[in-house]
Copies of this chain bind each other. A is one copy, B any other.
C-alpha cells in the first residue's frame, strides 16, 4: 500500500448516484470505518439512509459539485452515465476513481467495442451506424440480421432493436430515435457469464469466480456461481477481466459481460459489455466470498490493498424486480436465503427492489 496516497479511517468517500449500488457501497465503506457522502438529484435516493452526508442537486450544478468536492477525499460513482463534464469538474478538485478513460469507453458502445477489439478480446462483429446506408451495408455483411443499439444511455435492453429480417429493419432506426448507433452481428450463444474484477491503485488485480447470468424481460434475473462452464473457459474469462482492468488503467471494480459460444472447438468467449462499477451480477459476492465486490471497490478507491476473493459457498442470486419483493415474508423464512432490500419507497414494474442470495455448501466447479 502506497501509504501517502491511501485514505485513513474516517476519510470521506463521495459517491455520485444514490441507488442500491451506492447504498451497498456505503454499507461496505462504513464497516471499514469510512464515511460516505452521497450526491444525487433524487431526494428519495435509497443510499441517503445509510450515508453520513448527502447532497441533493443536479449533476451540472457547479456550486453543489464544488461543495461536494470540498467535503470529500475521493470521488467514485455507481452508474456509468456520469456526465463527462461532471467527472471533469470533480477531477480538477479530487481524485475521481475509476478515471475518465473507463467512463468514456463505457458510455459509448462504439468506443467500448473498439477498445475491446484493440485489447485483443473477441467481440461480436460490429459497425457504426449513423445512417440508413450504414445499417443496410452492415446488415448485408452480417447476413441480414443484427442487433441495433444506441451508442449511449442503453441499459436493461433499452435502446436496442433486434433485426432478424426486413420486417424488423423497416422501423428500426426510428425506434431508437435515429440516435448514433452501432449494429452487431447476431451471435448464437449458449449462456452469458460475467467476470467481476478489482484493480487497486498500485495495479494489483483480483478477480472473483465467474458467474452465470439469466435474464428475464432483458433484466438480470438470476446469477449462479459456479457457472456451468469449463475450467479453461473460466480461466479465459478471468484473463479478460484482468486485461480490461489493466488496459483501462482502472481503479475500482468493473464487470465484463461475456457470451459463451459453443462451437466445434468447444467454448469460446465474446465480450459484450463493460460496466465501470460494481455490478448486479456481483451481488452474490457479499454473502459467498471473503470480501464482497463492494468492499473491493472501496478498498481500491481508498488506495488500500484488495481483499481476498475466495469463495466459501455456492450461491444463486435472484433479483427481486417489482412485485417480486412482495415475497419478502417467504424469503425471510428460508434458511438458506440472505435477503437484501434496497429501501425503495415505491414498487414499480421492472424496478430492482432487492435481491436474495441463496447459499449452499461449495461444490467443485469453475
Contacts and interface: CB of A to CB of B under 8 A. Distances in A.
A1 B48 CA distance: 30
A9 B341 contact: yes
Contact of A1 (B32, B305, B312, B332): B332
A343 B10 contact: yes
A9 to B, nearest CB: 5
Interface stretch (A23-31, A100-108, A168-176): A23-31
Contacts of A308: 335-336
A74 B114 CA distance: 55
A340 interface: yes
Given A1-B333, A3-B329, A312-B313, A340 B305 contact: no
Interface string A335-354: 11011111101000000001
A359 interface: yes
Given A49-B52, A338-B290, A332 B313 contact: no
A61 to B, nearest CB: 24
A115 interface: no
Interface string A14-44: 0000000001001100111111000000000
Interface string A293-315: 00000010000110110101100
Contacts of A307: 332, 335
B32 A341 contact: yes
Nearest to A36: B49
A354 to B, nearest CB: 6
Interface in A29-79: 30-35, 48-52
A248 interface: no
A200 to B, nearest CB: 11
A232 B35 CA distance: 45
A343 B30 contact: yes
A1 B33 CA distance: 35
A339 B23 contact: no
A134 to B, nearest CB: 47
Given A308-B335, A332-B305, A345 B10 contact: yes
Given A27-B30, A336-B308, A35 B343 contact: yes
A6 interface: yes
A142 interface: no
A189 interface: no
Contacts of A31: 27, 339-341
A240 B208 CA distance: 42
A89 interface: no
Nearest to A345: B10
Contacts of A52: 48-50
B32 A50 contact: no
B339 A290 contact: no
Nearest to A1: B329
9 contacts: A27-B31, A30-B343, A33-B328, A33-B343, A50-B50, A50-B51, A290-B336, A304-B332, A307-B332
Nearest 9 CB-CB pairings of A with B: A33-B341, A49-B52, A308-B335, A305-B333, A30-B50, A9-B341, A50-B50, A33-B343, A304-B332
Given A23-B30, A33-B340, 7 more contacts: A26-B50, A27-B30, A27-B50, A35-B343, A48-B52, A291-B338, A307-B332
Interface of A: 1, 3, 6, 9-10, 23, 26-27, 30-35, 48-52, 290-291, 299, 304-305, 307-308, 310, 312-313, 325, 328-329, 332-333, 335-336, 338-343, 345, 354, 359
